[in-house]
Amino acid sequence: MAHPFPSFDRTLKPNATPRKGLRTALALFAGLAIAPAAQGKQVVHYETSAEAGTVVIDAARRRLFFVLGDGRAIAYPVGVPRHGAEWSGETSVSGKYVRPDWEPPSSVKVEEPALPDLVRGGAPNNPMGARAITLYRSEIAIHGSTQRMRASIGGAVSHGCIRMYNEDVIDLFNRVHVGTPVLMLP
């Protein structure tokens, strides 16, 4: 079976949307509401014995913590594995991919046979989203989401992966490296 992640990185095309400040000003002028940034990552008080730079996934709290040290961490809301796909323990980052292609694992294809055999990176239906951070666990990654999947962040929804908002997985992607320790708490 082919590995679900390519062995190469893709580069992102420059973002064609207006800068955040301009977008905010235009939205305020138009009387539109802007979603609060608190929806995504937050720096929080977090006591742990894990070293700074460790990723701790707390499945029960549906949060991923990037440990900063000194009792602080960046907390991100995540979607976690659903009942029957849970896992826990220690692992580490095995790879980092920008807008990767996705090949549904055989277990996913059994449940959803209509899925294509390959979804190209950047496609609107690619569940890997903007980034994928693979782990030294069979077919498991911390990854972004499609527009449709965003509503599932905070739920127990995946086949084993950790699902994040695209803007949050990009932030985490820039903080971790191959070998970064990852701890999954039940």
3 state SS for 110-133: HHCCCCCCCECCCCCCCCCCCEEE
Q: Which of 6-20, 57-71, 167-181 has the lowest mean pLDDT?
A: 6-20
CA distances (Å), origin 142, targets 26, 128, 130: 34, 9, 11
Q: Is the pLDDT score of 109 beyond 70?
A: yes
Q: Is the pLDDT score of 19 beyond 60?
A: no
Decide: pTM greater than 0.75.
yes
Q: How far apart are CA 103 and CA 105, in angstroms?
A: 6
> Is residue 138 very low, low, confident or very high in pLDDT (cuts 50, 70, 90)?
confident
The pLDDT of residue 103 is 92
Q: Which amino acid is at 58?
A: D
Query: Annotated active-site positions, please?
Result: 143, 161
Instruction: Check the CA dihedral 108-88-121-149 and report its sign.
Output: positive
Helix boundaries (H) for 3-142: 20-30, 106-111
Q: Is the pLDDT score of 24 beyond 70?
A: no
> Is residue 108 very low, low, confident or very high in pLDDT (cuts 50, 70, 90)?
confident
Q: How far apart are CA 35 and CA 76, in angstroms?
A: 16
